[in-house]
Chains A and B, each alone.
Chain A
């Protein structure tokens, strides 16, 4: 598994969906749950998979005919790294807000 070169808010949203679900998620549901466009989510999933954070597989046999859906889930190491990355992102995001509240408190 390789570390991500950059952690964007969209990547964090994708990681959150995968962490929350815990199981394999269909790519379209990741798009829906993040509220991000497919043009943003597809490349993120591809990068996460290339980096070894995420593994994908075809859905098991269903009654539905036609092309198979691709399911995504965090790998063991990926889940750990995702939790840490999301926590780090939240901490960084929270920092300016706490400074602001401190300033407001002084005022």
Chain B
């Protein structure tokens, strides 16, 4: 039990400190009686050390001090972008699409999904702020510190200005100005004298193939379901009790609707997003694409899926408006798939943003740094 606790506490330490402290604690626990102490004293000591250890110290983290603020800022910005994507999606779909004429259980499940997604976005936003604050604390220059603090204050001002009832009209505007100022100073910092470190990362074919095939399968599923939904399921949900042929006939008669342009638009949408996803998957399966690590593949695939779902709105706009004009109802989507896809899209884009920020840390082992020096 003591050993398990020590191993767990060692896992909390930065990479280069883990092995050293675990062996030290194990030796201390084994010899505690010899020193007239109890083994649990060692566990308590390890607990405090794991909480107070200076994680930024290159000797422990293996990460040069100058890279730490950049890594934290990148992760923080990824998380804040993910939160923003979900919250903007929530706003654009007016709190999530509610399927029409669907069973109450399905509607309740979708609403619960919406609340969970928003809760996740808020948690991601808070963790992002913590990361950016950490980056600002360890930043080397004042310009970098100010730029990172603006990355927190700017979006917070926009959110407060938009959410607080009776907030002055200029508050969100001020927030956007602060965000722009943060971005411009951030670009100035990145374009500064210190080059950005890059680490060559590669993956084996065995690591790449599952992500490549999974990404391609997700895209195919989205395109097939999205296209069928747009042409069949959504019209049926909007005009219940009527078959698709009758719906199209009525639309043609009353609104001059022609199915052909919608079919062409849908085909273009499907091909436009499926072909790049399949090409990326094929490239990843090829032996020479070692640089396409699972993380990079996932970023590309999730970004493609998110973009495809977002732009489906424009593909379906014409048929939606025609349904609205023909039957005197709203033009908004009403099927279960239409309600579900935005969450898939938001989570895909949010996942891509987080993965983009979550580049593995550059670890320089002491021996390597000695050689480099």
Give residues in A with beta carbon < 8 Å to B: 26-29, 31-32, 37-43, 46-47, 50, 58, 66-70
Contacts of A31 in B (CB 8 A): 35, 37, 41, 45
A60 nearest CB across to chain B (Å): 13
**In whole angstroms, how far apart are the Cα atoms of A31 and B35 in the complex?**
9
Contacts of A69 in B (CB 8 A): 24, 27-28, 31
What string of 1s and 0s marks CB contacts (under 8 Å) between B13-33 and chain A?
000000010011011101110
User: Is A50 in contact with B59, judged by CB distance below 8 angstroms?
Assistant: yes
- 17 A-B contacts (beta carbon < 8 Å): A28-B28, A28-B31, A31-B35, A31-B37, A31-B41, A31-B45, A38-B37, A38-B45, A42-B45, A42-B49, A43-B48, A43-B52, A46-B53, A50-B59, A58-B23, A67-B23, A69-B28
Closest to B20 in A: A70
Partner of B32, one of A28, A43, A66: A28
Interface Cβ pair total, 8 Å cutoff: 73
**In whole angstroms, how far apart are the Cα atoms of A29 and B41 in the complex?**
13
Name the prevailing secondary structure of the B interface residues: helix
User: Is A42 in contact with B46, judged by CB distance below 8 angstroms?
Assistant: yes
Closest to A41 in B: B45
Partner of B30, one of A58, A67, A70: A67
B47 within 8 A of A: yes
B36 within 8 A of A: yes
B2 nearest CB across to chain A (Å): 13
With A31-B35, A39-B44 already in contact, 19 other A-B pairs whose C-beta atoms are closer than 8 Å: A26-B31, A26-B35, A27-B28, A28-B28, A28-B31, A28-B34, A28-B42, A32-B35, A37-B45, A38-B28, A38-B41, A43-B48, A46-B52, A46-B53, A58-B23, A66-B26, A67-B30, A69-B27, A70-B20
Give residues in B with beta carbon < 8 Å to A: 20, 23-24, 26-28, 30-32, 34-37, 41-42, 44-49, 52-54, 57, 59
Contacts of A37 in B (CB 8 A): 41, 44-45
User: Is A67 in contact with B45, judged by CB distance below 8 angstroms?
Assistant: no
User: Is A32 in contact with B57, judged by CB distance below 8 angstroms?
Assistant: no
Name the prevailing secondary structure of the A interface residues: helix
**In whole angstroms, how far apart are the Cα atoms of A42 and B21 in the complex?**
10
Partner of B36, one of A32, A68, A70: A32
Closest to B26 in A: A67
B29 nearest CB across to chain A (Å): 9
**In whole angstroms, how far apart are the Cα atoms of A16 and B363 in the complex?**
36
Closest to A70 in B: B24
User: Is A28 in contact with B35, judged by CB distance below 8 angstroms?
Assistant: yes
Shortest 8 CB-CB contacts between residues of A and residues of B = A38-B45, A39-B48, A28-B35, A67-B26, A67-B27, A70-B24, A42-B45, A42-B49
Contacts of A67 in B (CB 8 A): 23-24, 26-27, 30
Contacts of B32 in A (CB 8 A): 28
B269 nearest CB across to chain A (Å): 57
Knowing A38-B42, A39-B45, A50-B57 are in contact, say whether A29-B35 is a contact too (CB < 8 A): yes
**In whole angstroms, how far apart are the Cα atoms of A28 and B41 in the complex?**
10
Contacts of B41 in A (CB 8 A): 31, 37-38
